[in-house]
Structure 1
Amino acid sequence: MRIIHLLVIGALIFAAAYVYRIKMESTARTERVLRLHAEIREQRDAIAALRAEWSKLDAPLRLQGLAERHLPLKPLNGTQYDQLKNLPERPPRLVKPGEPDPIGAMINTIEAVVNSDTVTGSVPQPGSKR
């Protein structure tokens, strides 16, 4: 009978320790959730402040005032338009139709050099001592 009592007492102690561990884990997780909620609230407040600042900086009247102060722009008149026949001639084409684009060829060459394992003078070669 005493062995059964000892086993029951041991099981009760084990159960109490297990329940206490579960309680502590849940308390720790609750605290973590509360910290995360506080961080989320802080981030939302920061986002709201940045949006308010952006809307202040992006206000049309403010931008118009800055443009008038810092840009030498003049109002557009109806007399500033001209006819198409008065436009200058189109500049000559530098590349004949069907020929490869020289700028595209340069970009391909640059990409080939960048992607290769070429070592420049400023980069020590593997295994060398400086």
Structure 2
Amino acid sequence: MRLLNILVIAALIVAATYVYKIKFDSTLQAERVAKMHLEIRKQRNAIASLRAEWAELETPGRIQDLAERHLKLQPMQSNQIDTFDNLPPRPPAVAPAAADPIGAMLTPSAPETTGSIPAPAAR
């Protein structure tokens, strides 16, 4: 009977210690969660202030003032616009069946006999 009482008391002490450890770990985790929530709130406030600052920096009036102050730009004149007649000609049309469209544009239509590179022999 006495041995049974000692075993029960030992089991109660072990159980109480285990419960205390679980409570301590859960309290520690709750503190970590609270710290993370605080850090998240701080980061969201920082993001909000940066967005407000960015919105202030990108206002069109401010950019216009900076452009006028720092860039020596002048209004566009009508004689700066060119006509379509002065555009360069279009590149030659490439056959859609060509395996290498860029090579087809570079290869002349009539290959010259002098200076041309011979095709490799089949093995």
Q: Please give the TM-score of this superposition, normalised by the length of structure 1.
A: 0.63
CA distance in 1, matches of 2:73, 2:56: 23
Which sections of structure 2, spanning at least 5 residues, go unmatched?
90-104, 108-123
> Quick one: which amino acid aligns to residue 97 of structure 1?
L
Return the TM-score normalized by structure 2. 0.66
The match for 2:106 is 97
**Cα drift, residue 5 of structure 1:** 0.9
Counterparts of residues 1-130 of structure 1 (less than 5 Å)? 1-86=1-86, 97-98=106-107
Residues 22-48 of structure 1: CA distance to partner in whole angstroms, max 9, x if unpaired? 000001111111111111111111111
Q: CA deviation at 1:86?
A: 4.8
- Structure number with the bigger relative contact order (C-alpha 8 A, sep ≥ 6) is 2
**Identical amino acids, percent of aligned pairs:** 54
Which protein is bigger by CA-based radius of gyration?
2
**Aligned-residue RMSD, C-alpha:** 2.0
Structure 1 residue 60, shift from structure 2 partner: 0.9
Please list every run of 5 or more consecutive structure 1 residues that lacks an aligned counterpart in the other structure: 91-95, 99-130
Partner of 2:98: none
Match of 1:115 in 2: none
2:106 alignment partner AA: P
Q: Tell me how far apart the structure 1 counterparts of residues 61 and 21 of structure 2 sit (CA, whole Å).
A: 62
- Residue 52 of structure 2: SS of its match in structure 1? helix
